[in-house]
Structure 1
Amino acid sequence: MSADIVNQASDWVARNDGIILQYIINLAAALLILLVGYIAAKMISSTMVRVMEKRRVDTTITRFCGNMTHYAILTFVGIAALGRIGVQTASFVAIIGAAGLAIGLALQGSLSNFASGVLLILFRPLKTGEYVEAAGTSGTVESVQIFTTVLMTPDNKMVVIPNANILNGNIINYSRTGTRRVDLVIGVSYKADLAQTKAVLKSVLEKESRLLKEPAATIGVSALADSSVNFVVRPWVKTEDYWDVYFDLHENIKIALDEAGIEIPFPQMDVHLEKVEA
């Protein structure tokens, strides 16, 4: 009985030796594809991580992108290996495509925020510690995360903004250049001497040591308003000095104008009465 089985097996091997050899070759090729693909996936993902680390990309984004690249390459390598040993891979590709489409539709909002987060980290229009205005909110950047950006407002409120909202709108970065212009509008009475007023304003600026020499400050008449002649006062300061200088200049200008006898008017209306004879 056992001899018959051995003989049948030998005859089957003799008849199908070409097929068996081809299968062994295909299997060896599939294993080689897996090995080369694994090495390539590891090298490519590692290279991507190193490049992103050199560009100081957020660690979370770096690891996520590295892992995604690694597993994506392995997936295609696995499909190629299965195809090499004769497995029909069209169904696998269709399943992966359908799954990707379903996941994309289900997570389109999150994926949009993720993509926006990657762009924010790569191009860095805002950085941690900078004071910005984005998506209608002003505050100091606490962190730029994968899906959201966290801002701390001046009154110490934490605001979490989806990254897509930030990238789809205007971003005003007040900290990036290191200097800011203080814009003041000072109204004086129509009875005031304009040359004297300008001299008083200039003297206040000269006494403020935190102002920058360059660019030079601007002082000039900007409008003949309903109740006042409006002067613009526009000195430049370092960004970190902005609010202190802003408040101090208002106070010092008021004191200086009072000492010079220059009136700061308030809105008023003149009413003229006419007597009509019966």
Structure 2
Amino acid sequence: MKEKLVNAWSKMLEKLESWLDNFIVNLPNILIAVVVFIIVIIISKYLSKLIARLLNRTNLQKSMKNLISKMVSIFIILMGLFLILGILNLSKTLNTILTGAGIAGLAVGLALQGALANTYSGIILSYIKKVKFGDWIESNGFEGEIVDIDLRLVTIKQVDNNLVYLPNKMVIENPIKNYSTTSQSRVILGCGVGYESDLRFVKKLVIDTIVSKFDVVEEKEEVLFLWKEFGDSSINFELRFWIDSTSALEVAKAQSEAVMVIKEIFDENDINIPFPIRTLDFPKKFTLPDS
């Protein structure tokens, strides 16, 4: 037992001595590899900042600019690692790493299909000029302003200031309504007046009121006033006009203001906006029972 321990101890010492010899022999290469690694880190940071500055002059979205600058930095670091492995005479290790990376990459790709789909969709969104920061959009049942687009999520700020995080894949695969693609928006409002009203007078009164109260975009078309139907209690109309706005919130504010000014002008001219009523027709001989 004692001899076995002595033999084991001597073998361990021999192994340590060989490692020490190899370390001393390769010490110049190790120092060079450390210097190369430091230089690579510095170059990657410098090139990343330089690429970011150059991309700021382009029309690419912020998320795409960050992605490209990070990819350049990662590429430089990977090239530096390959160079360091060559300096240290670890070419066989490099082949082993590449083989393992291929197998691991396949396994990770299968496990992260959803995440990779969102990343790919984020890259596509970064190139789409019709969907960008500050746009007011409606997608997947949510409406609001785009405040961020990254490689995983599109962040929307709603009217109530709450944030909605939509996976990029859902935004790409579903319809998007962008209120900001044009410089104007149309305001649509419905209302009704009593059957005793002068319809031509009502039409002129509403149009004149809207033109005087709002900065209507005249080059689009005049204020459009359409009588729609004979309702149960009123004759209903629809009002349409354009305003200089791309925000759904501003459209809602314009609708609210239009309701107020139309109600005020109707009150001033004794025009009735009837509410649903029900008329009961009793027989002539009908009498109420004594209470």
The TM-score, its normalising length taken from structure 1, stands at 0.69
Letter in 2 for 1:259: E
Report the Cα distance in structure 2 between the residues aligned to 1:233 and 1:219, rounded to whole angstroms. 5
SS of aligned partner of 2:273: coil
Q: How many residues align?
A: 228
Which digits, 9 at most, give the CA deviation of each residue in 1:86-107, with x for residues without a partner? 97x9987764443222111221
**Quick one: which of 125, 133, 142 aligns to 2:130?**
125
Q: Check 1:273–1:168 CA distance in 2 against 1; reply closer, same or farther (3 A cut).
A: farther
**Partner of residue 246 from structure 1, selected from 215, 237, 255:** 255
Pick one of 191, 200, 221 that aligns with 1:195: 200
Superposition RMSD in Å: 3.5
The amino acid that maps onto 1:253 is I
Name the SS for the 1:132 alignment partner: strand
Question: Over residues 177-219 of structure 1, what are the superposed CA-to-partner deviations in whole Å (9 max), with x where a residue is unaligned?
Answer: 1100000001111222211110111121221242211212211
Q: Which amino acid aligns with 1:224?
A: F
The within-5 A match list for 1:198-217 is 198-216=203-221, 217=223
Decide whether the 8 Å contact of 2:61 with 2:132 is kept in 1.
no
State the Cα deviation string for residues 44-102 of structure 1 (Å, max 9, x = none).
Answer: x99x9899653423232222443566688x59x99xx9xxxx97x99877644432221
Contact kept, 8 Å, 1:210 with 1:245, in 2: the verdict is no
One-letter code aligned to 2:254: V
Q: How does 1:91-170 map to 2 (within 5 A)?
A: 95-170=100-175
Alpha-carbon deviation of 1:254?
Answer: 0.5
Residues 86-139 of structure 1: per-residue CA shift (max 9 Å, x gap):
97x998776444322211122111111111111111113322222111221111
Could you tell me which residue of structure 2 aligns to residue 39 of structure 1? none
User: Unpaired segments of 5 or more residues in structure 2?
Assistant: 1-43, 287-291
Counterpart in the other structure of 1:256: 265
- Does the aligned pair in 2 maintain the 1:143–1:151 contact within 8 Å? yes
Cα distance change, pair 114–51 in 1 and its aligned pair in 2 (3 A): farther
Alpha-carbon distance between aligned partners in 2 of 1:274 and 1:64, rounded to the nearest angstrom? 86
Residues 1-278 of structure 1 aligned to structure 2 (within 5 Å): 54-58=58-62, 59-67=65-73, 95-216=100-221, 217-239=223-245, 241-273=250-282
TM-score (normalizing by structure 2): 0.66
Distance 2:284 2:54 in 1: 86
CA 1:136–1:66: 2 relative to 1, 3 Å: farther
Distance 1:51 1:169 in 2: 33
Identify if the C-alpha distance between structure 1 residues 96 and 263 changes in structure 2 by more than 3 Å, giving closer, same or farther: same
What is the identity, as a one-letter code, of the residue corresponding to 1:158?
L
Identity percentage over the alignment?
27
Paired amino acid for 1:188:
V
- Tell me the SS of whatever aligns to 1:235: strand
1:105–1:67: structure 2 CA closer, same or farther, 3 Å change rule?
farther
Deviations 1:232-268 (A, max 9, x none): 1111001165344222111000111111211101122
Range with bigger deviation, 101-110 or 219-228: 219-228
Residue of structure 2 equivalent to 1:32: none
